[in-house]
Amino acid sequence: MRYISTRGEAPVLGFGEAMLTGLARDGGLYVPETIPTLLVDEIRALGGLSYEETAFRVMRPFVGDAFSDDEFRTAIAKAYQGFGHTARAPLVQLAPNHFLLELFHGPTLAFKDFAMQLIGQLFQIALKREGRRVTIVGATSGDTGSAAIEAFRGLDNVDVFILFPEGRVSEVQRRQMTTPSEANVHALALKGDFDDCQARLKDMFNHFEFRDAVGLAGVNSINWARVLAQVVYYFTSAVSLGAPDRTVSFTVPTGNFGDIFAGYIAKRMGLPIDNLVIATNQNDILHRCLTRGRYQMDGVKPSISPSMDIQISSNFERALFDAYGRDGKAVSALMAEMKETGGFTVSQGAIQALRDLFASGRVSEEETLATITAMHKATGELLCPHTAVGVAVADVNRDRNVPMITLATAHPAKFPDAVEKATGQRPGLPERMGDLFSRPERVTSVPNDLAALEALVHERRKA
Ligand SMILES: *Cc1c(COP(=O)(O)O)cnc(C)c1O
């Protein structure tokens, strides 16, 4: 299996190298050269299998010879053994034909664990085999960073640096990043917003001298291996509800477009998905883009669903690449235009292709809170604010005859203030993380400045 860049000018890589690299050297994102498909009978045969066995069968065709079957099975088994639910991604029913896919039973209580735990295991195998050491630098709006630290803490061949926007992550998120005591973990509070964190990260990747000197590796949602790991739960949930003999739809609370892009890949692989719905909070650049045909930045407004507070939705570039008939030059031109002017207009053909694939909706802060209140009353379920955005958008966009699966992206206890405000109930952390608030924190405050950041990475990493 070969991987190509969305901008068409980076070296073609195998799965292992694409995973270890993250961002392509031309600034693009790696995508598989072709999307493998599963036969209807192969999808039907997933019925009743464990999450891990389904994961193996769904992801195997993308991995090529980067890992042996044994290595890959072992990595999957280790990745999910620490989850607090044997189904890994259980379904809960909210209303007739509306289901919630609970993706928050991993160690940091958000869906990011599905990908990050697997990547941690795969990095470990690949780096040991090659006797290599890498420096992982990630940017986070909260959940990616904690998931990455949880996945890489204490691993031998890795230093992990996480940039988060100072003062803009929840206390649980911050503590999950600042309390691990392992020497290879470095939590960096950047003076800026999430887009600044993401921009500095991209700058580091585009500074090849630095990139090569520290063995820079990226595990942000642009990493193809992360997208791939997220394809699996589209299969497990759809098959539970009758796929391939029944069509289902999904609504996905969306920020960086990684999670919903995984749904698109599942569809391309042959899973019968009727509708893929993008749900955004008041930072609705994706919803505006789909409705108006223009991708235009207008500043981040902090919300109660902070993991979706972004303007530059990195993985959207992968969707654009396909919508433009895989024309890397066209994608490059759009991205250059965005860098210069803060936006671009999507061509007629491409916007039509995107509208054929995705629906979208946006939810205000008030509507998000009202949805948490209403769902608690109607079902007893406590929703995290991101999930509530999804549930609200799903309700407007669903066909009552097709099962709708809304992705529950985080545990309510990760965002207790919003949940308490909406329901009067303060959700408690699961017992296994009970001492989070009593552990000492370790964090470095950093300026929004590339040279300072690079100097810090050089100084702190274990050479
Ligand atoms: C990361 C995250 C999202 C957004 O997912 P993307 O893949 O970036 O679109 C939504 N909800 C929560 C809780 C998250 O952590």
Instruction: Please report the pLDDT score of residue 170 as a whole number.
Output: 84
| pLDDT tens sequence across 191-243 | 998 889 989 998 999 999 999 999 999 888 889 999 999 999 999 999 999 99
Closest to 335 (Cα-Cα) out of 346, 348, 351, 323: 346
Do residues 29 and 13 lie in contact, with contact meaning Cβ atoms separated by under 8 Å? no
Q: From the centroid of its chain, how far is CA 85?
A: 20
Query: What single string gives the DSSP state of each residue in 273-302?
Result: EEEEEEEE-S--HHHHHHHHSEEE------
- 415 pocket-lining for ligand 1 (C-beta < 6 Å): no
Q: How far is the centre of ligand 1, averaged over its atoms, from the C-alpha of 168 (Å)?
A: 15
Choose one of 168, 386, 391 to mutate for the ligand 1 pocket test, by most ligand atoms within 8 angstroms of C-beta.
386
Do residues 213 and 30 lie in contact, with contact meaning Cβ atoms separated by under 8 Å? no
Atom nearest to 253 CA in ligand 1: 10
Alpha helices in 358-410 (DSSP H): 365-379, 385-397
Q: Which two structure tokens, joined as six digits, stand for 119? A: 């990547």
Distance CA 200, CA 138 (A): 10
Instruction: Please report the pLDDT score of residue 318 as a whole number.
Output: 98
Closest to 211 (Cα-Cα) out of 463, 458, 2: 458
Instruction: Please report the pLDDT score of residue 37 as a whole number.
Output: 98
- 258 pocket-lining for ligand 1 (C-beta < 6 Å): yes
Q: Which two structure tokens, joined as six digits, stand for 329? A: 């030059």
- 98 pocket-lining for ligand 1 (C-beta < 6 Å): no
Instruction: Please report the pLDDT score of residue 337 as a whole number.
Output: 97
Please identify which residue in the block is written with the tokens 């992990």: 160
Choose one of 29, 102, 143, 172 to mutate for the ligand 1 pocket test, by most ligand atoms within 8 angstroms of C-beta.
143
If one counts every other C-beta atom within 10 angstroms of the C-beta of residue 215, the result is 17
Distance CA 279, CA 390 (A): 5
Distance CA 1, CA 206 (A): 25
Instruction: Please report the pLDDT score of residue 377 as a whole number.
Output: 98
Q: Which two structure tokens, joined as six digits, stand for 310? A: 């972004």
Q: How far is CA 264 from CA 14, 174, 258, 281, 369, in A?
A: 21, 31, 10, 21, 29
Distance CA 318, CA 48 (A): 32
**Catalytic (active-site) positions:** 112
Q: How far is the centre of ligand 1, averaged over its atoms, from the C-alpha of 307 (Å)?
A: 5
CATH of domain 91-108+225-423: 3.40.50.1100
Instruction: Please report the pLDDT score of residue 39 as a whole number.
Output: 98
Distance CA 130, CA 214 (A): 16
- 383 pocket-lining for ligand 1 (C-beta < 6 Å): no
Instruction: Please report the pLDDT score of residue 408 as a whole number.
Output: 98
Instruction: Please report the pLDDT score of residue 143 as a whole number.
Output: 84
Atom nearest to 257 CA in ligand 1: 9
- 409 pocket-lining for ligand 1 (C-beta < 6 Å): yes
Instruction: Please report the pLDDT score of residue 220 as a whole number.
Output: 82
Residues in the chain where the model's pLDDT stays below 50: none
Question: Which secondary structure element, helix H or strand E, spans residue 160, and what is its range?
Answer: strand 158-165
- 307 pocket-lining for ligand 1 (C-beta < 6 Å): yes
Closest to 360 (Cα-Cα) out of 289, 256, 265: 289
Please identify which residue in the block is written with the tokens 């909706």: 361
Closest to 44 (Cα-Cα) out of 209, 271, 381, 298: 271
Q: How far is CA 287 from CA 123, 165, 410, in A?
A: 35, 24, 22
Q: Which residues of 268-288 are buried (b: 16+ CB within 10 A; e: fewer)?
A: bbbbbbbbbbbbbbbbbbbbb
| Phi and psi, residue 358, nearest 5° | -125, 140
